[in-house]
A and B are shown apart, each in its own frame.
Chain A
Amino acid sequence: MLKKRLVGVVTVKDGWAVQSFGYKRYLPLGKPECLVENLDRWGADEILVQVIDRSVNGSNPDFELLERLGRLGLETPLIYGGGIRSVDDGVRAIQSGADRLVVDSLLHDDLAAVRGLSERLGAQAIIAALPLSWNGEHVEWLDYRHGSSSSISVEVLSLAETGIVSEILVIDWMHEGHQDGFEQNLIRNFPLSGVPLIAFGGISNSNQMAELLQMPNISAIAAGNFLSYREHAVQKYKEALSGMPLRLSAYESKYPTLTHV
C-alpha cells in the first residue's frame, strides 16, 4: 500500500541552515549538510531543502550546495527549492543531485517555464509551493517578494488540475515555527479537490500530524524546526503515529545503543 510521507525540511538562508519563524525570524542552526545527513539517517521519507534567499536576491539555484549534498551519498529522495527561474535551472538542479523540485516565485513570474520543466523532467518531479493564509473565509496566496496576499490565480490552479505539477506544497507561512500552528482550513478549504497536498508550517505534534494524515487530499506532511534539536525526532513521530498510513520508523544505528545524550 502506498504510504503517506513525513518530509524533513531544511531551510537555508545565507548559506546556513536556519530555524525559521513565520518568515520573519531566523536562527542559525549550522551547516545544511549536517541536518540533511541527520534526516537521511533518521529515515525521513523525503528531504526538502529550501533555500529562501535566492529569488529575493535574483539569484539562481544553489548548485554548489546541491553538489555538496550529492557527495554525502544520501539514500533518501532529495527535493530542492529556491531560485529556479527557468527550465535550464531545473534541469541543472536535477543533474546536480536533486530528485524533485519545488517552484515558488516561478509561479508568479513564468508559468510557461513551469510547463517546460514538467515536460522535460516529468510532472512527478515538480511540486508547486504555495505560501497560504486563511482570512476567515477563503485561502489567500502570498507573494513573498512583495509581501502581499491574494487569491490563488486561475492559471496556477489549472497547473495542478491538468497535471503539470504532481503535488502542491501548502505552506502555512504565518505559523511556521510555531508549535501546534498549522491552519487546517488551508487543506479543508483548498480550492481544488483531488490534487495531492503536502502540509507544511507549524506542524509539531503527533495529534496534528494524525489529523492531517487522515485527510484524503494530504499525501505528505512536512516539518522543519520541529525535527531539529530533538534526538531521533523522525523516529519518535513515526512511533507515535503507528496506525497511520505512514512508513514505519526506519532508523538504523550502526553503533550499539549506549545512552541517549
Chain B
Amino acid sequence: MKYCKLCLQPDTRPNALFTEEGLCPACHYYEQSKGIDWQERYEILLDLIKAVKRTPGQHFDCIIGVSGGKDSTRQALWVRDNLGLKPLLISLSHPPQQVSQLGVDNISNLINLGFDVVLSSPAPETCRQLMRESFFKFTNWARSSELALFSSVPQLAIGYQIPLIFWGENPALQMGDLKTMGRNGYDGNNLRHSNTLSSGHAWMLETGLEHKQILPYIYPSGEEFDAAKIQIIYLGWFMGDWSLLKNALYACPAGLHIRTEPPDETGDLYGLSNLDEDWHNMNQMIKYLKFGFGKITEYVNEELRSGSMDRSTAIDLVEQYDGKCSEKYIDGFCEFMKITRQEFWSHVHKSMDHDLFEIDASGQIRRKFKVGVGF
C-alpha cells in the first residue's frame, strides 16, 4: 500500500491508477486543471444548452437529482440562476426510519428557494430487504440505494421527456473511476459502467424479488437512453472550484443546514456530507476498514491540493478521525436491519482488509500501516 505524493490517497481504491509520478487520479486531474480556460468551457456549456430545446408543452429544461445537500443545492442554484434554465429536481427519499430531520429541512430549503421538486419513495420494506442483502453481499448496505438514486433520474427524464440530465462531478476525472469515461470530460452517458451501476440488478432477482418490485433500482438500458435521446452532462467539468468545502460554502448562505456533531462522531471533518441520513457516514467507516481511507481523507486531500493545509496537520486529522463512527449510528442501523451488533461486526470484520488492519486482544481494530507512509 502506498500513498499519493501530494495528498493522502492510498492506492487501494478500485478502478483507480496512480501516475508515473506517483500522483493519484484526483491530484493528477487537479494539476491538469490549473491550465484550463474555464471561460472557454463555460461557453461550450452555453452552446450545449442552446442545442437542447424544450419540447412544446414541456415546463422544464433539464433534470437534476438532488439530496438537498451541498452539491445538489449548489448545482440547482447554478443551473437556474447562472445558466438561466428551469430545472426539475428529483429527490429520492430514504425510508422513514432512515431519513434525518436535516435531510428533510434541506429539501424544504430547495422548495423555499423556489424549485419544483419531485419526491420519489421506493417501497420501504423492499428497500430494507435490499439494504440487508447489499450489506451481506457487498458489505455496503448502500449498493441498492445507490442504484435507486442513479436510476431515478434517467427514469424520470425518460418518463417526463426531459432529455437533459445534469450530474455533479465526473467520477472518471475527479475520482479516477476510469471505466465511466465518456466521449469527453462532460459526457456522462457511460455512467452505467461505474463500480456501483455495473453490478446491475440481477442479484436482486436472485433474492426472490420480482421484477415489478425492483423497478426503482433498474437503470434504464442503453437502448432506452438512445430512444429518449438522453444526454447526461457533468457540471463539475465546467465549474473551476467544485469541491466538498467549496460547494458547502456556496450552499450554506443559500440556506443549507449542516451537521453540528463533531468529527469523532461522524468521521466527517466539517459536518458537510451525508446530511440526509446517518448510515452513509457509517459506511465510510466500513470503507475505511476495507480500503484504509475514509471521509476525513477526502476532506484533507482537497486542502492538501489547494495548499491550505500542510501534510503533517492532514496526517494528524486522518489519524485522529478517519473511519470514526459513533455507536449510536451503528445501533440505529442494526435496529433497522434487525441484526445484532455481533452479526454486524462479524460481517464487517470479514470484509476488513487484514493486511491493513488487525484486531487486538481487547477486540479493538488497529491500523497496521502508518498514515501517509503505507508499508
The answer to A–B direct touch (Cβ < 8 A) is yes
**Partner among A16, A24, A229, A259 whose Cβ is within 8 Å of the Cβ of B250:** A229
In the bound complex, CA of A226 to CA of B253 (Å): 5
Does B317 sit at the interface, judged by CB under 8 A? no
User: Are A27 and B250 in contact, with the CB atoms below 8 A?
Assistant: no
User: Are B39 and A261 in contact, with the CB atoms below 8 A?
Assistant: yes
Does B82 sit at the interface, judged by CB under 8 A? yes
In the bound complex, CA of A51 to CA of B308 (Å): 19
Q: How many residues of B contact A (CB 8 A)?
A: 21
Q: Within 8 Å CB of B255, what residues of A?
A: 179
Instruction: Given A28-B308, A30-B308, answer yes or no on A260-B82 (Cβ-Cβ < 8 Å).
Output: yes
Q: Within 8 Å CB of A27, what residues of B?
A: 245, 248-249, 252, 258, 270, 272
User: Are A21 and B252 in contact, with the CB atoms below 8 A?
Assistant: yes
Does A246 sit at the interface, judged by CB under 8 A? no
The residue of chain A having its C-beta at the shortest distance from the C-beta of B306 within the complex is A30
User: Are B271 and A25 in contact, with the CB atoms below 8 A?
Assistant: yes
The residue of chain A having its C-beta at the shortest distance from the C-beta of B109 within the complex is A179
User: Are A225 and B38 in contact, with the CB atoms below 8 A?
Assistant: no
**Partner among A21, A28, A179, A230 whose Cβ is within 8 Å of the Cβ of B245:** A28
User: Are A229 and B42 in contact, with the CB atoms below 8 A?
Assistant: no
**Partner among B42, B240, B245, B258 whose Cβ is within 8 Å of the Cβ of A259:** B42
In the bound complex, CA of A1 to CA of B223 (Å): 68
Interface string of A220-232 (1 = CB under 8 A from B): 0000011011100
Most chain A beta carbons < 10 A, residue from B82, B240, B253, B255 = B253
In the bound complex, CA of A259 to CA of B39 (Å): 8
Does B260 sit at the interface, judged by CB under 8 A? yes
Interface string of A69-87 (1 = CB under 8 A from B): 0000000000000000000
For residues 102 through 136 of chain B, which have their beta carbon under 8 Å from a beta carbon of chain A? Answer: none
Instruction: Given A25-B258, A25-B260, A28-B308, answer yes or no on A261-B252 (Cβ-Cβ < 8 Å).
Output: no
The residue of chain A having its C-beta at the shortest distance from the C-beta of B252 within the complex is A19
Q: Within 8 Å CB of B249, what residues of A?
A: 19, 27, 29, 228-229
The residue of chain A having its C-beta at the shortest distance from the C-beta of B113 within the complex is A179
Q: Within 8 Å CB of A19, what residues of B?
A: 249, 252-253
For residues 231 through 269 of chain B, which have their beta carbon under 8 Å from a beta carbon of chain A? Answer: 240, 245, 248-250, 252-255, 258, 260
Does A97 sit at the interface, judged by CB under 8 A? no
Instruction: Given A30-B308, A259-B39, answer yes or no on A177-B252 (Cβ-Cβ < 8 Å).
Output: yes
The residue of chain B having its C-beta at the shortest distance from the C-beta of A24 within the complex is B260
Within the complex, what minimum Cβ distance (angstroms) separates A12 from chain B?
14
In the bound complex, CA of A24 to CA of B240 (Å): 30
In the bound complex, CA of A260 to CA of B42 (Å): 10
Interface string of A164-180 (1 = CB under 8 A from B): 00000000000001010
Q: How many residues of A contact B (CB 8 A)?
A: 21
Does A2 sit at the interface, judged by CB under 8 A? no
In the bound complex, CA of A177 to CA of B254 (Å): 10
For residues 60 through 112 of chain B, which have their beta carbon under 8 Å from a beta carbon of chain A? Answer: 82
Does A258 sit at the interface, judged by CB under 8 A? yes
The residue of chain A having its C-beta at the shortest distance from the C-beta of B249 within the complex is A229
In the bound complex, CA of A229 to CA of B243 (Å): 13
In the bound complex, CA of A260 to CA of B245 (Å): 22
For residues 6 through 64 of chain B, which have their beta carbon under 8 Å from a beta carbon of chain A? Answer: 38-39, 42-43, 46
The residue of chain B having its C-beta at the shortest distance from the C-beta of A230 within the complex is B253
For residues 289 through 331 of chain B, which have their beta carbon under 8 Å from a beta carbon of chain A? Answer: 308
Within the complex, what minimum Cβ distance (angstroms) separates B342 from chain A?
36
Does A204 sit at the interface, judged by CB under 8 A? yes
Within the complex, what minimum Cβ distance (angstroms) separates B260 from chain A?
7
In the bound complex, CA of A16 to CA of B249 (Å): 14
The residue of chain B having its C-beta at the shortest distance from the C-beta of A226 within the complex is B253
The residue of chain A having its C-beta at the shortest distance from the C-beta of B258 within the complex is A25
Q: Within 8 Å CB of A24, what residues of B?
A: 260
The residue of chain A having its C-beta at the shortest distance from the C-beta of B270 within the complex is A27
The residue of chain B having its C-beta at the shortest distance from the C-beta of A18 within the complex is B249
In the bound complex, CA of A258 to CA of B42 (Å): 11
User: Are B253 and A228 in contact, with the CB atoms below 8 A?
Assistant: yes
In the bound complex, CA of A24 to CA of B260 (Å): 8
In the bound complex, CA of A258 to CA of B253 (Å): 26
Q: Within 8 Å CB of A258, what residues of B?
A: 39
In the bound complex, CA of A258 to CA of B245 (Å): 27
Q: Within 8 Å CB of A30, what residues of B?
A: 308
Most chain B beta carbons < 10 A, residue from A28, A229, A259 = A229
Q: Within 8 Å CB of A179, what residues of B?
A: 253-255
Within the complex, what minimum Cβ distance (angstroms) separates A226 from chain B?
5
In the bound complex, CA of A6 to CA of B271 (Å): 31
In the bound complex, CA of A21 to CA of B260 (Å): 10
Interface string of A20-49 (1 = CB under 8 A from B): 010011011110000000000000000000
The residue of chain B having its C-beta at the shortest distance from the C-beta of A177 within the complex is B252
In the bound complex, CA of A177 to CA of B253 (Å): 7
Within the complex, what minimum Cβ distance (angstroms) separates A78 from chain B?
23
The residue of chain A having its C-beta at the shortest distance from the C-beta of B43 within the complex is A259
The residue of chain A having its C-beta at the shortest distance from the C-beta of B246 within the complex is A229
User: Are A261 and B42 in contact, with the CB atoms below 8 A?
Assistant: yes
Interface string of A153-187 (1 = CB under 8 A from B): 00000000000000000000000010100000000
What are 5 A-B residue pairs whose CB atoms fall within 8 Å in the complex?
Answer: A19-B252, A28-B245, A225-B252, A258-B39, A261-B82
User: Could you list 19 further interchain pairs (A-B, Cβ under 8 angstroms) beyond the known A19-B249, A24-B260?
Assistant: A19-B253, A25-B260, A25-B270, A25-B271, A27-B245, A27-B258, A27-B272, A28-B245, A28-B308, A30-B308, A225-B252, A225-B253, A228-B253, A229-B250, A229-B253, A259-B46, A261-B39, A261-B42, A261-B240
A residues with a Cβ closer than 8 A to B are 16, 19, 21, 24-25, 27-30, 177, 179, 204, 225-226, 228-230, 258-261
**Which 6 residue pairs across A and B have the least CB separation, nearest first?**
A229-B250, A179-B255, A226-B253, A225-B253, A261-B42, A229-B249
